[in-house]
Structure 1
Amino acid sequence: MASSFFVKGPRMTSLRLAIRNTAWNSVIAAIIGGFIALRFFSTNPDFVWWQYLYAFFAASGLSFLVLFLLQSLFSVSASCFSKKAGSFVSFLILSLYFIALVSDTFVYQQYRFHINWAMIDLAINTDGQVISFSTGMIIQIALIVTTLMLLSAICVKICGKISEKKGALWPSLLLIFGYIVVNCVYAFSFAQNIRAITTLTERIPLYRPVRANSFFAKYGLVVKTEKVDMQEAASSTFDYPKAPLRFGEGQEKLNVLIVAVDCLRGDVVDPITTPNLYAIAQKSIVFKDHYSTGNATRAGVFGLFYSIPPLYWKYALTSNIPAVLIESFMQEGYAVSPFTSSTLNRPEFYATVFSNIRPLRMGSAGKNDLERDPNALKDFKAWTKDKAGKPFFGFLFFDGVHSYAVPDDDPTLPYKNYWEEVNHLKLGPDFDPEPYFNRYKNALYTVDKLIGETYKFLEKEGYLKNTVVIFTSDHGEEFNDSRLNYWGHNSNFSKAQIKIPLIIHWPGMTPHTIDYRTTAYDIAPTLMKRLLKVQNPLPDFSVGVDLFASGGRDVFISSSYLEDALVSGDDVLLIKGTGMMEGHRLSDWGDMPEGPMKKWLPYYLDMRGKYLD
């Protein structure tokens, strides 16, 4: 027998009728919303019918689930008081849904991103100085809102009559089934790099389809051997770079090696913790106020190689467009390869940063980082001897600090009082951070030995004479530095979590110290302009500036998986995933008034759409 929620029983109860009303309201509104959502695809005339079909079921299925949940929580509850109250609440929910969806289609068509709280705040609280509305525009908006509210009222009225005669079980199941199908299609398409499907995701608000790479990998269905088709990828919304790269004459064919240490803070390079890196710094260029583009690996590595804000991650992922830093060196004949300890599967750097390198080294063999890190270095050494005379661009990424990997039998560890077993359940505001921090520094000391081995190898093979060697990190690591019970990373944008070292050996340059602020965004344009003589203006491919130029960094964006932060001086404007904003100090993450910091919101909104077509 069908569910009593959707099918008329012999004696209809008010609760049963309210749920049937909710189901029909959700079905009809979701179908209408699915057609409205097709406006998100009007900016690209090349889409074909089956892409529109995919988009319709994705948008309508998601809308049905959200609307049914909201109405079940509020409309059904209101129906316990009276049928009119339940209908009125359903009317409000549908009105807000239609108004938000239609408004978002207009915003997306103009800016190529969806409505967010930062934009709403600018519209409401800047007295028209940033976002203004003419009289004609206000009248037009009023007419659209009135029409959508009338549409909502009609839906509620019609659905109320239908629900008295017929349940909505089968239409509901059809929308749910369609939504499940498009999610399965997306999961397979993502594993197969079918960009005609994956690039549709970014256009549908709140749509987060499932991925199943681990499942498909068991059956050999994850594509990791085919090089990305740049012409096909160019059809994506992701407009990056904004123009084809042009290379000038007189290039210095210097090799490039980026040595990154996961979780390396900016204040731990010292003679005790990192004796090798400290010694290298004494004969290199040291940037004393350098910052990551994120407080987690995905954001930090993305900003380093793409040189644009990490908020473009999903666009790079769905289009498989590689980082311009990698693409430019490959175009100019360099051998390019990453040598990472951890896998490139997660985050999906194999489908983003390094998507144009095939075959691709996916990670190191070994049961832990104490084995995987040395294997990464071993593979790098072998690779440099097998390049057929080509200049090289290498990325060596050690992960041992991230896992606090410390060998049990190393008597040289400098910090004897260290936490022998990391148990995050014990962390709290009153937990003594010293033993934990000591374990971190012992893990860093262990990785520092590999840094010393890397440098000695380059010196022995004669590479230091013709290789730019960059030592840096993806993000920092906090040990309750703020006294606010923050541990690790990906939780705030204080100095402890986003300030990182930058030490560069550049052949022909005199060792010196640079005190002005720099960011990871600056590395790609510096290498591309100085070594490859890229002729494009920087905004074509980067939001950074030359590392050796002191100006142009009044504010920069640093991101996590869910949040963005605008950093200027010691001020941080945190923009949460919900769009709400908070003000903080960079130095200690103390609270600050966010009002004065909102002057940076126009910059943020411009950055959100700058590299979208």
Structure 2
Amino acid sequence: MKHLDYQPMRSISWSLRLGFVCLAFGYLIALRYLAGVAWPDSFLGAVYLTTAFVGHFAFLALIAWCSVILPTALIIPNLKLAKVLITFELGALLLLLIVDTFVFQQYRFHLNMFLWKLILNDTNNEIFAFSNTMKALAVMAIALVIALLFFIGQKLAQPKKSWPHIRLISALLVVYLSANLIHIWADAQYIQSLTRYNRNLPVYYPATATKFMAKHGWLNEDAQQANASLSMNKQNASIQYPLNPLQAAPLTAPMNVLIIAVDSWRADEMNAEVSPNIWDFSQRSMRYNAHFSGSNSTRAGIFSLFYGLPSVYWDAMFANKQGPVLIQQLKDNDYQFGVFTAATLTNPEFDRTVFRDVDNLRLTSEGDTPIARDIDLTKDWLQWIDQHQQQGADKPFFGFLFYDAPHGYSIDDSLPAPFLPEEDINYLVLNNDYDPTLIRNRYRNAVYQDDKLIGQVLSDLQDKQLLDNTIVIITGDHGQEFNDTKHNYWGHNSNFAAPQTHVPFIMHWPGQTAKEIALETSHFDIVPTLLHRALSVTSSERDYSMGGNLLAPVQKNWRLAGSYSSFAVISEGLIIVSSLDGSMHIYDENMDEVSSAALDYSVLSKAMDEMKRFYK
């Protein structure tokens, strides 16, 4: 009987030695994640980046060794065969790391199922075009890595002295824990100069303990606010926005601009019954029947409205304290700002992104309920516009009113609520069989009451004869679902189907005739329209957005939508979703998952380009 040569302890010991060598190679490869990243200017920052880098990849290596290498060493009954398999496994892990570094440098996110799907299905090289030389180099690189590991493996087969495996692993775990402890403190103190490096490391989710720190009095709120207000050195920025300095002709007859947004306002609830005042206004304006938000959530929806860019750029804009060019152009033309929102502007951090360049920003409204705060913001706006007309009517104004009642299903019992029967939402009872009629009526009543408030704003503009010189946009930040797709989706921020992304859009533009527009448009189109047609910007819209002209819309066959943890490419009835956890799924318009679909890779290529164009 042939001897199997089963020596698991020798396999384990040898694999640990080769694993440490591969970890050293991994560190060298992973330096690519830090290419172009400014070295921290503080000692603590340098310590954090170093410990996070060293500790995280050591931790990943330990996980890989325990889950892949160790089982091979234990299961394979032949020492030589085990070494061969382990060598190929370690080589594959190194090659995977190499590929991810290239992906990150190209797109600023790491390998996920979305990209794997593109790579595996890009048979015509429509997205990833590789020359024969590049293919040959790739094959040579793979062969070189495997050959090098076999050579090193042979050298390590008979070590001259034992390796301190346990001490090395223990030391690296201490480094890993140190990085997490530093991050807990930096996160609680809001030190972005440290935490901004997190996104560079793949599958890196360092520890946080904000509640624990606050409970023990270790959360320095003053320091948090102070650090948040500090501008980062633009020389360290990883974003180039706009791509080129904006060029504009002199603005001789500036028009006022007023944007009214309603949180969680779905498109089919803009009608004569639910929103009669806005409906009446829409009959005298341009009404866009196929308009979509850039998101299914507030943060990314408002971001798409003011930046004209997908939500993947939020972190970069936030980290680099980069406000939208729309606001800057308004300031350059001496516009007066009236920003009135029901929900606080500090969460999401619109005060540090969208409105960071607005002076004396009003951060919140008074009131215990969303509808009470909506009433308060309306009152304050009417007072502000009165004061503007009395003291600064010679200067144009930009107004932004953001209503919140539908988001919270909030109504005022003293105001009319015609949709009955109704009840407040109870999230605990929602399921796929739940009848949404009562909460849908509650939602409609919230929209109805906000419509009454917005009607006051519109009537006031009419009374002051401001509509002759004011662009008025009325829309939603995103939609709201009531299990429309019959997959137990409620509210928003859970999928990218129409109920959560299709929003009303009405635009009154002085000199433009009232009409309905059937072509698909989106929030990405707002900024280029205002900059080009209202603020005389002559630069290409490609320099600062991914949108087009709402006054002359063109047919589109795809669009982007993003949220806090995922993004979607929506085209030809398919919703292709990629999540930050690496998962990738394809759905139809009703959120039924599609197991196999003929994807248009030219569209996906364009979408990928939009998500990386503004990174340096």
- TM normalised by structure 1 equals 0.85
With 389-398 and 289-298 compared, the bigger mean Cα shift is at 389-398
Contact kept in structure 2, 1:186 and 1:209, CA below 8 Å: no
Structure 1 residues 327, 428: CA separation in 2 closer, same or farther (over 3 Å shift)?
same
Identity value in percent: 29
Supply the distance in 1 between the matched residues of 2:549 and 2:40 (Cα, whole angstroms): 39
Secondary structure of the residue that 1:603 maps to in structure 2?
Answer: helix
The residue type equivalent to 1:610 in the other structure is R
With 551-560 and 398-407 compared, the bigger mean Cα shift is at 551-560
Contact kept in structure 1, 2:54 and 2:172, CA below 8 Å: no
Contact kept in structure 1, 2:288 and 2:521, CA below 8 Å: yes
Contact kept in structure 2, 1:398 and 1:447, CA below 8 Å: yes
1:409 Cα deviation after fit: 4.4
Which residue matches 1:122? 118
Structure 1 residues 213, 286: CA separation in 2 closer, same or farther (over 3 Å shift)?
farther
Secondary structure of the residue that 2:472 maps to in structure 1?
Answer: strand
Matched, 1:519 2:522: yes
1:554 is aligned, of 554, 557, 582, to: 557
1:126 Cα deviation after fit: 2.4
Contact kept in structure 2, 1:43 and 1:109, CA below 8 Å: no
Which residue matches 2:275? 274
The residue type equivalent to 2:35 in the other structure is S
2:487 is aligned, of 473, 484, 487, to: 484
Q: Per-residue CA shift, 1:531-566, capped at 9, x if unaligned?
A: 111121111001100002231522110112222222
1:152 Cα deviation after fit: 8.8
Matched, 1:220 2:222: yes
Matched, 1:606 2:609: yes
Q: Per-residue CA shift, 1:88-145, capped at 9, x if unaligned?
A: 8876665444322222223444555543444433333323523225243234332453
- The correspondence of residues 89-100 of structure 1 with structure 2, limited to 5 A, is 94-100=90-96
Which residue matches 1:568? 571
With 200-209 and 19-28 compared, the bigger mean Cα shift is at 19-28
Contact kept in structure 1, 2:112 and 2:584, CA below 8 Å: no
Supply the distance in 2 between the matched residues of 1:580 and 1:318 (Cα, whole angstroms): 26
Supply the distance in 2 between the matched residues of 1:76 and 1:351 (Cα, whole angstroms): 48
Which residue matches 1:36? 29
1:438 Cα deviation after fit: 1.1
Contact kept in structure 1, 2:88 and 2:146, CA below 8 Å: no
Matched, 1:140 2:136: no
The residue type equivalent to 1:42 in the other structure is A
Q: Which runs of 5+ in 1 are unaligned?
A: 1-13
Supply the distance in 2 between the matched residues of 1:159 and 1:266 (Cα, whole angstroms): 74
Contact kept in structure 1, 2:286 and 2:506, CA below 8 Å: yes
Aligned-residue Cα RMSD (Å) equals 3.6
Secondary structure of the residue that 2:224 maps to in structure 1?
Answer: coil
Matched, 1:441 2:459: no
The residue type equivalent to 2:421 in the other structure is N
1:160 Cα deviation after fit: 11
Matched, 1:451 2:448: no
Which residue matches 1:8? none
Supply the distance in 2 between the matched residues of 1:156 and 1:365 (Cα, whole angstroms): 70
Structure 1 residues 584, 111: CA separation in 2 closer, same or farther (over 3 Å shift)?
closer
Q: Per-residue CA shift, 1:380-423, capped at 9, x if unaligned?
A: 2333345552322121111111110123444x3111111x2422
Matched, 1:106 2:106: no
Structure 1 residues 138, 399: CA separation in 2 closer, same or farther (over 3 Å shift)?
same
Secondary structure of the residue that 1:503 maps to in structure 2?
Answer: strand
Secondary structure of the residue that 1:471 maps to in structure 2?
Answer: strand
1:184 Cα deviation after fit: 3.1
Contact kept in structure 2, 1:22 and 1:68, CA below 8 Å: no
Supply the distance in 2 between the matched residues of 1:137 and 1:82 (Cα, whole angstroms): 33
1:605 Cα deviation after fit: 1.9
- The correspondence of residues 298-313 of structure 1 with structure 2, limited to 5 A, is 298-313=299-314
> How many residues matched?
592
Which residue matches 2:200? 203
1:543 is aligned, of 530, 542, 546, to: 546
Contact kept in structure 1, 2:51 and 2:175, CA below 8 Å: no
Q: Per-residue CA shift, 1:48-100, capped at 9, x if unaligned?
A: 69666543322222223333345445555666657969988876665444322
The residue type equivalent to 2:33 in the other structure is F
Contact kept in structure 2, 1:226 and 1:359, CA below 8 Å: no
Which residue matches 1:265? 266
1:27 Cα deviation after fit: 7.6
With 173-182 and 534-543 compared, the bigger mean Cα shift is at 173-182
1:397 is aligned, of 402, 427, 434, to: 402
With 97-106 and 497-506 compared, the bigger mean Cα shift is at 97-106
Contact kept in structure 2, 1:322 and 1:353, CA below 8 Å: yes
- TM normalised by structure 2 equals 0.85
Q: Which runs of 5+ in 2 are unaligned?
A: 1-6
- The correspondence of residues 307-386 of structure 1 with structure 2, limited to 5 A, is 307-386=308-387
2:53 is aligned, of 56, 59, 65, to: 59
Secondary structure of the residue that 2:315 maps to in structure 1?
Answer: helix
Secondary structure of the residue that 1:322 maps to in structure 2?
Answer: coil
With 212-221 and 270-279 compared, the bigger mean Cα shift is at 212-221
Secondary structure of the residue that 2:545 maps to in structure 1?
Answer: coil
1:68 is aligned, of 62, 84, 91, to: 62
